[in-house]
Structure 1
Amino acid sequence: MTSHAAPSHPSATDEVVDICRDLLRIDTSNTGDNATSAGERVAAEYVAGQLAEVGVAVELRESAPGRTNLVARIPGTDPSRGALLVHGHLDVVPADASEWSVHPFGGELRDGYLWGRGAIDMKDFDAMVLAVVRQWQRTGVRPPRDIVLAFTADEEAGGDYGAHFLVDQHRELFDGCTEAIGEVGGFSYSVSDDLRLYLIETAEKGLDWLRLHAKGRPGHGSMIHDDNAVTALAEAVARVGRHRFPVVLTPTVRTFLEQVSDLLGIEFDPENPEATIAKLGPIASIVGATIRNTANPTRLDAGYKDNVIPGRATATIDCRSLPGQSELLLEQLRQVIGPDIEIEYVHRQPAVETSFDGDLVDAMASALRAEDPGARPVPYMLSGGTDAKAFQRLGIRCFGFAPLRLPADLNFSALFHGIDERVPVDGLQFGVRVLDRFLRGS
């Protein structure tokens, strides 16, 4: 008599490493220009294959050649409940291999880390989600409510070909979604050996990318010239780059600073929050950008020949506004720039903010504490932006929750868009366990 043993499969905590490595080896660089971007098609097809292998039907939606998005729905046990959207983007910012100590698209496993562009932004979370769903499908687990999975294109360039395209053209795929989780939240900040804060993103600043245009009189570069567009623009850009907007403490940021100050045993002075932020080590740069509007010059363009004074000069300013302050930021910036410079919006997306309460937040806290008894979840505001800006347009309550337990000495914020981006393998596996608990209990 011949016995047939049931086929064995790797656990989600083992499989997540291979899935993340596979994704890191797919170049999905997004330059912001379709002509030079790698596109997300290959990565989306990989994700589709991973889901199809375990019986999950997927919907592929392409906004332009190669700019591919994927959406799938996992049915829950209670169809009367609102669905939970779990979203991650497939694109990454470009990487210059000459600046890295490993190849940015090699998916190298070294020193307990997985290295590669996208390791923490955000192919790690994509891999976590796939690993959990694949394990559920193999073992017959059903979540308590529908879970909608979205793997998007173009997040790194504003999402026009990704999340915003889906919301504008295919919003039926998100029918019933009331809450969402995505990137840049749920990561740890070590206070002591037995206490770690886990920062849950409940807010993110608005995106206000502007283009400044200066006009002048064209002329010969050898002449004295008082109406020079380059000079006028350069002076305006310098004023913007040096300007510091006034401090404004939003409810999210005030709550975060109060809780952190209490836990660290330091005094919190609302009139001087920067004194508290300066003591936060690796996360100081993230938090420091959330107490005021910001405007940073990023690009300059003028002229067509070395000895010709151009009639027009252009600069790009990356502005990020606090919730409810987009119009105020524009007014403040106008005063800094002056009346003779034209302002044009390149991208404008509103800030995101929700409260740190409710059953979903309780489920996050419970899952974190089950895997780390020293966990203390706290709300925070992200200084950058995510696809949450698109999904909030559907009335979805958005959080950043991609759980990672990080080494105390890792400068996590510096890895975003930085060289030698990497994710700790044990942190990745921790994230799978937390995500599994959270999704079962949400």
Structure 2
Amino acid sequence: MADVTPPWPGTGDTPPWPGTDDTAPGASGDDWAITDEEVVRFTSDLIRIDTTNRGGGDCRERPAAEYVAERLADAGLAPRILESAPGRANVVARVPGSDPAAPGLLVHGHLDVVPADPANWRVPPFSGEVRDGMVWGRGALDMKNADAMVLALVRAWARTGRRPKRDIVLAFTADEEDSAAYGAEWLVREHPGEFEGCTEGISESGGYTHHARTVSGRPVRLYPVGAGERGSAWLRLTAHGTAGHGSRRNPDNAVGALAGAVARIHEHRWPIRLTPVTRAAITEIGAAVGVKVDLDSPGFVAERDLDALLERLDPTSRLVAGTVRNSANPTMLDAGYKVNVIPESASAGIDGRVLPGAAREFEETLDELTGPAVEWAYQHRSDPLVSPVESPTFAAMRSALLAHDPGAHVVPVCLSGGTDAKQFAALGITGYGFTPLRLPADLDHGTLFHGVDERVPVDALRFGVRVLDRFLTSVD
């Protein structure tokens, strides 16, 4: 591959922060040059393998799993391809650590991606093209980039003879973009022994650059690290009524009853519930941008004052705004087959997300909002997560990021959505969102997840491998 190192996007020059030491014990500049080439190539190659997950079992991760397994085997590992159904493949491998007494650490990433309509993209979404210093395509951020970083890193360890302190269990999973039924959920149920000894894990949705400004206007870089997740509560609402002619009045109209329930759910304002992780996030973000925050002040009432505080933190508030409340968003409607026929039933889909400790409140509120004429049930649910912020592992993630971006601030956050970490939590594995990426200010990371023109800077991939290397070889 030709050298694709670009000017820093948006500046026409080099990255606007201090350079860092890219060496590691036992690794030379030539070693890093190989790794730098591989991480870009692997990202492109994985994007070219179309693993679109359309839900309902419609996906085939097997070709990507075979690609991953081949590169792990080349690094001297013994990967296992574990297929939960025809074509629905997962890969698991273990990297032995130098300290047999240390607990294992799980590093997991999913192989499937959400759909992409080529008509809307500037670059074909499954091309993996390198253009303007970026690798383009579906999965460039979510999360074939992370899969590629892990592959490139363990191959670098094999070349140099370096080893992490802890056993590292690698899991490349299927079906994360749907329910995890063919992926992490199945692995946890059918192959728990693969994760024996693991106490903690890292995966997506954390460790990337979030650009902000202090109240005085000075640029500041934040790196949010996931230390919690809202639980998933995908619901199916169903209303039953009396079928009839569309021209006649029908007070027992299932569509009307369902529409009323959906409208009430849409309009409901959930109360504020601050978890320990979100409290820490707001406090540390405030300190980074120069806004005084005292959530324990006797004069501070969250239900009254929090929204105003978040406005003062804007736009950085988006790191926490989605995790201060439960939520329930109508997403699907299904009723009727002809305009002049009142159907006997109607249904709707609701995407609910639940904060730690708020499940009972969520369910009681849904009972009230749906009323007696509409039933609701879980289609899929997973428990929320909370991971300790004051832990040696979080400290090691912070240290690894700051070693490569010394002027930045690392802050804990609760994720508004969910990851496979929820599935692995059933094995007692504490999960963190940590896929390090150094991003320019003009690249909106959040809008590219599941969005059009998904892409990742080449420089971000190379930064990420170095941060992962430092973290995984130093964490106790």
Q: In which range does the TM-score fall when normalised by the shorter chain?
A: over 0.9
Match of 1:126? 147
- Aligned match of 2:458 in 415, 418, 425? 425
Aligned to 2:279: 254
Distance 1:411 1:209 in 2: 28
Deviation at 1:304, TM superposition (A): 2.5
Offset of residue 327 of structure 1? 1.9
Partner of 2:48: 25
1:240 to 261, 265, 277: 265
| Root mean square deviation of aligned Cα | 1.7
1:226 and 2:226 correspond: no
Unaligned runs of 5+ in 1: 1-6
1:358-373 matched pairs, under 5 angstroms: 358-373=391-406
**CA distance in structure 2 between the aligned counterparts of 1:8 and 1:202, rounded to whole angstroms:** 33
The residue matched to 2:105 in structure 1 has which SS? strand
TM-score, normalisation: structure 1:
0.95
**Superposed counterparts of 1:24-423, under 5 Å:** 24-34=47-57, 37-191=58-212, 195-268=220-293, 270=295, 271-280=304-313, 284-423=317-456
Alpha-carbon offset, residue 300 of structure 1: 0.6
Shifted more, 25-34 versus 345-354: the winner is 25-34
Mapped contact 1:282–1:412 kept (Cα < 8 A): no
- Single out whichever of 276-285 and 151-160 deviates more from structure 2: 276-285
Confirm or deny: 8 A CA contact 1:230 1:312 kept in the other structure: yes
What is the letter of the counterpart of residue 456 of structure 2? V
Using the alignment, how far apart are the partners of 1:69 and 1:10 within structure 2?
A: 29
Structure 2 match to 1:4: none
Counterpart residue identity of residue 40, structure 2? V
| Distance in structure 2 (CA, Å) of the matches to 1:282 and 1:409 | 14
Note the residue ranges of structure 2 that are not aligned, 5 or more in a row. Answer: 1-29, 296-303
1:261–1:282 CA distance, 2 compared to 1 (3 A) = closer
2:319–2:413 Cα contact (<8 Å) kept? no
How far apart are residue 279 of structure 1 and its match?
4.8
Q: 1:123 to 1:282 in 2, by over 3 A?
A: farther
Aligned mates of 2:205, 2:315 — CA distance in 1: 15
- Answer whether contact 1:211 1:345 (CA < 8 A) is retained: yes
Q: 1:211 to 1:8 in 2, by over 3 A?
A: closer
Please say if residues 120 and 423 of structure 1, whose CA atoms lie closer than 8 Å, have aligned partners that are also in contact. yes
CA distance in 2, matches of 1:282, 1:15: 35
- Aligned positions, number: 434
Displacement of 1:280 after TM fit?
Answer: 4.8
**Structure 1 counterpart SS, 2:323:** coil
The alpha carbon displacement at 1:428 in A equals 1.3
Whole-Å separation in 2 of the counterparts to 1:115 and 1:253: 33
Structure 1 residues 279 and 160, CA gap change in structure 2 (3 angstroms): farther
Q: Tell me the TM-score normalized by structure 2.
A: 0.88
Take 2:168 and 2:441, find their aligned partners in 1: how far apart are those partners?
Answer: 33
| CA shift in 2, pair 1:52/1:356, >3 Å | same
